[in-house]
Amino acid sequence: MKLLRYGPLGQERPGLVDDKGRLRDLSAHVPDIGGAVLSPEGLKALAAIDPATLPLVEGNPRLGACVSGVGKFLCIGLNYADHAKETGKEPPEEPVLFAKAVSAICGPNDDIEIPRGSDRTDWEVELGVVIGSRAKYVSEADALEHVAGYCVINDLSERRFQSERGGQWTKGKGHDTFGPIGPWLVTRDEIADVQNLDLWLDVDGERRQTGNTRTMIFGVAHIVSYLSQFMTLLPGDVISSGTPPGVGLGMKPPTFLREGQKVSLGISGLGEQHQTMVQA
C-alpha cells in the first residue's frame, strides 16, 4: 500500500493511492496515518479494504508528511562511503546517530525555508524508515519485522550552523521545513529489496545526487537493530538512513541553496518530492 496524508497544514486527512494512481480517502476507517495504524494489525486491516469502496479525492490537494505524530526523528550520518569521503571524514565504525527536531517535519512539496543568517543550506536525499511496532533489543535478523514501511526524506542541513556554531550537529539540522517526508509511506511488503533502491536529487533540473541503497555502510536491518540497543523504537518513529554523495558541501567549490531555487528528489518505488527554496 501507499499511504499518505492530504489537506491543509494542520488539517491533513488519511488516504491511500489506488492501483490506478488515484487518491482515496481513508477517514471513515482510521483517524490518521500514525501510531497503532502502522502496527502489523493496523496495516493488515487497511490492506483488507477494497480501495474501490473508498471516496475519490478530487483535484490536486497539498500532501502532508506521510506519517503523523512522529515521536522520534532519528538520523544516520556518513552512511555512504563516498559521501563520507566527500566531506573529508573516514567511514564510521558504528552508525553515527543524531536527531532532527520533529518541528522540522513538513510535507514533501512544501516550500523549504533558508534560515535567517544562513549561507550554507544543503540538500540530502535519504531513505526514510518508519517503525511499525515496538522495538527494544531486537536482533538484526528480526529488525525488519518492526518496520511499517519506507519513504523519501530530504535531510536538509545548514552546514555552518552544523559545524561552526558549537556543540553537535543539531543546530544545523532542526530548522522548520528541514524534514520533508513523503509523498507517501510505502508498506514494507511492496519493497522486494530495501538494499537495492536508486536515489537521486536535482537542483534547478541539474542532477546533483545519484546513489543506491546497496552502497550503505550500515543497512536498514543493522540500523534498526543498532538503535534498539540504545532506545525503544515506537510506532511512528522515523529514521533517516543517510545520503549518497553529491551534496553541496562536497562540490568544488562548495555550492549551497539560494532563494528561488527548486529541488526535486526521489527514490525508486517511493515517489518524488518537489520543493522551492524561500527565505525564512
Q: Do the strands 185-187 and 2-6 form a parallel or antiparallel pair, or are they unpaired?
A: antiparallel
Rounded Cα distance between 273 and 88, Å, is 28
At 169, is the pLDDT very low, low, confident or very high (cuts 50, 70, 90)?
A: confident
pLDDT value of residue 262: 98
Looking at residue 164, its pLDDT comes to: 79
- Phi and psi, residue 88, nearest 5°: 80, 20
Classify 38 as helix, strand or coil: helix
The per-residue pLDDT for 74 is: 98
Angstrom CA distances, 67 to 36, 148, 151, 179, 270, stand at 12, 11, 10, 12, 14
Q: Which CATH number fits domain 68-279: 3.90.850.10, 3.30.70.270, 3.30.930.10, 3.30.1330.60?
A: 3.90.850.10
The predicted-structure confidence for 207-259, as pLDDT tens digits, reads as follows: 999 999 999 999 999 999 999 999 999 999 999 999 999 999 999 999 999 99
Lowest mean pLDDT segment, chosen from 74-83, 141-150, 163-172? 163-172
Report which of 62, 84, 49 is spatially closest to residue 244, judged by C-alpha positions.
84
Full DSSP string of 81-142: HHHHHHTT-PPPSS-EEEE--GGGEE-TTS-EEEPTT-S-EE--EEEEEEE-S-BSS--TTT
